[in-house]
Amino acid sequence: MSVHVIKEARRCLQCKNPVCRIEGCPAHTNIPEMIRLFLTGKINDAGAMLFENNPMSVFCSLVCDHEAQCEGHCIQGRKGSPVQISSIESYISDTYLDKANLTIDLPKNKRVAVVGSGPAGLTVAVKLRQRGYDVTIFERLSHIGGMLRYGIPDFRLPKSIIDRYVKKLVKLGIHIRPNTTIGGALTLDTLLDDGYEAIFIGTGVWRPRRLGIKGESLGNCLFAVDYLKSPDSCHLGERVAVIGSGNSAMDVARTAIRRGSRFVTVYARTPKTTASVREFEYAEADGVDFEYNKDIVEITPQGPMLCEINYAEDGVTVVSEGKPSLHRADSTIIAVSQVAKDKIYRGTTGIAINENGLLEVDEGGQTTRKGIFAGGDVAYGARNVVQAVKNAKHVADAIDEYLNHL
């Protein structure tokens, strides 16, 4: 891999106006500088720069939609293949992770609670801990990582990387409380009463979005977010129908094949999938079948009932054609996004949510209650990892400013 990465790094043109960074990367990673440092033998400096800019760099290098972001904006890609920036970043970040010597500012003697340990929560926790705050992460599940651990299959993001990352958090002095639900025995008010002067809510979106059709409670039907959380506990059978066409649907389909299902079909309502090109191509290579312009009307014990749909000339209006037909499957998995759970703030006064069930926040990520901030998917809906990081860095700055003025 190192030879490949070095060859790819040497292909970088070191553009004076790097479009890969300016337009391609939501986190604005300094890609030319990363490559320059790497090629001059300063891999630790490159890794430190990446971590400072994006504490989730080691994860983003594996799971970002690189074709639409950094690599999709690489000048080399206009006449040939783009520089494989993701592979270079992954090599540097992974090499640097275990030996990173993260610094901490003088203690601020102020306590911050981070609720949820997905990309947004981890970014805020690291940034504020490095600035000298006493940070505690509250995670309702047994291990931290959020969607990184429970929503992305191991073949895309090995769990061992998350475990290595946890060691860095502990060494940094961040307290971690797993198996702790905020909104149960402990509430947001409990945290405030116990002296936390700021709270960040980064709980993501874990409630499956229903289709609103008959059959969603049947024993042969699952939601993608529940299946991906624990695929080994599910028995799908040989024939699986996946409803949806985004990256989550690709993850479900590829996971099902790896768990022994022989015939896995993704049914998309659109003329093509909405997943990234890379994830779609990998799913095809793994043996997933695809059917398009299919509208599901019911789930039965024998499989989903689907009808053909067409799009009118305006490209928006959907016209259903013909009677629904049965597409036989032992299991049907619904992969059409998620919404936020509201247990955490249901019993807390002064926190507003919008019509989509997401937390209302101002430009700095503060909710309608003073001292309580939110970011990532729970405030803006389902996004990718690097977008959550970009937002979380902004909110961490706002929390820092808020605490400095107390």
pLDDT tens string 135-174:
999 999 999 999 999 999 999 999 999 999 999 999 999 9
In the chain, % helix, strand, coil (3-state, to 5) comes to: 40, 20, 40
Q: How confident is the model at residue 314 (pLDDT cuts 50, 70, 90)?
A: low
Q: How confident is the model at residue 355 (pLDDT cuts 50, 70, 90)?
A: confident
Alpha-carbon distance 43 to 27, whole Å? 20
Q: Is 230 exposed, middle or buried (0-12, 13-18, 19+ CB in 10 A)?
A: exposed
Burial 238-264 (b: 16+ CB within 10 A, else e): ebbbbbbbbbbbbbbbbbbbeeebebb
Closest C-alpha among 300, 236, 234, 233 to residue 264: 236
pLDDT of residue 313: 67
3-class secondary structure, 214:
strand
Cα 88 from chain centroid?
21
Closest C-alpha among 370, 360, 362 to residue 403: 370
Domains by residue range for the chain, with CATH: 2-97 (1.10.1060.10), 111-206+340-404 (3.50.50.60), 209-337 (3.50.50.60)
Q: Which of these ranges, 53-67, 204-218, 256-270, 308-322, has the smallest mean pLDDT?
A: 308-322
Q: How confident is the model at residue 207 (pLDDT cuts 50, 70, 90)?
A: confident
The 10s digit of each residue's pLDDT in 337-353 is 877 776 677 667 889 88
| Residue 299 in this model has a pLDDT that exceeds 80 | yes
| Both structure tokens of 343 | 């247990």
**DSSP letter (8 states) at residue 366:** B
| Both structure tokens of 143 | 């291990």
Alpha-carbon distance 89 to 98, whole Å? 15
Closest C-alpha among 162, 114, 164 to residue 134: 114
| Residue 9 in this model has a pLDDT that exceeds 50 | yes
| Both structure tokens of 388 | 């959550």
Q: How confident is the model at residue 247 (pLDDT cuts 50, 70, 90)?
A: very high
| Both structure tokens of 280 | 């779609």
Residues 176-203, mean pLDDT to the nearest whole number: 94
